[in-house]
Copies of this chain bind each other. A is one copy, B any other.
Amino acid sequence: MKTRFVLINPSHAGNVGATARAMKVMGFGDLVLVAPRWANVLRREETIQRASGALDVLTNARIVATLDEALDGMTHLCATAMTPRDFGPPTRAPREHFAALLGKPDSLSKNELLTQASVGLEANSASKPEGVAFLFGSERFGMQNEDVYRCHVALCIPTDPGFGSLNLAAAVQLIAYDWRQALGGFAVRPATPEPQQADAAAVAGMLAHWEQALADIGFLDPASPKKLMPRLNQLFNRAGLSPEEIHILRGIAKAMSQQARPVVEKGSPADTAARP
């Protein structure tokens, strides 16, 4: 399946560069500009600056004069329209439309199944589109009606009803993200090893160690322990301790007891000897 991003009459060079970057971080590289305001927009300084390394996307981008020329090989056209229209393709949120388009019935809500039906995917779900094009209108005027009318769907990013002013490159970023996620997504590279969980016996052993230590330092009265140990047990359960953390907590208990016991002999030579 091919994916293409089409900017119709983009007027800000910065947005073209930011679009290239937004596409590339999500693994897309096919960019077409239809009649941009600046003929040399792909080489302008602001474009290159905002592309921030996504220069191959700019290098491979095409500039064409009409929308028709931008759509070769594309079979499923997605308008992105923030302005309601009283005629045209059905309006859908990107996430639900992508699930329907890729025929993922397991993940579909009732509303999404409705989506599938109303854009004619139901009878057709075996055949995924060969080429999906996302069309973005100009920053100032959005998409023209006749361009929206030829699309299969009008994608509307759900924004605050009181402030729907989404920047062009930000819209590209969100669509590219949702589409990449729908296609399976990239893996998150874990920065840290998956934390291991200490088992209940290890937690209980550590708590017994602490119970002794807390008595040693005079915080826990064994004759009247109240709910102190169950409270600590709950705290440590919520924290989900790892074996390493059990080790640290046992070390703390040991140090508490060691510090506490010499107190009996306070002022004796043993006191200073214990802390070189």
Contacts and interface: CB of A to CB of B under 8 A. Distances in A.
Copy number in this complex?
A: 2
B156 A188 contact: yes
Contacts of A180: 158
Contacts of A164: 25
Given A52-B165, A238-B120, A191 B154 contact: yes
Interface stretch (A70-78, A168-176, A208-216, A263-271): A168-176
A18 interface: yes
Interface stretch (A82-90, A128-136, A199-207, A224-232): A82-90
Contacts of A194: 90, 118
B160 A240 contact: no
B88 A181 contact: no
Interface string A150-167: 000010111111111111
Interface string A98-134: 0000000000000000000111101110000000000
B163 A186 contact: no
Contacts of A197: 117-118
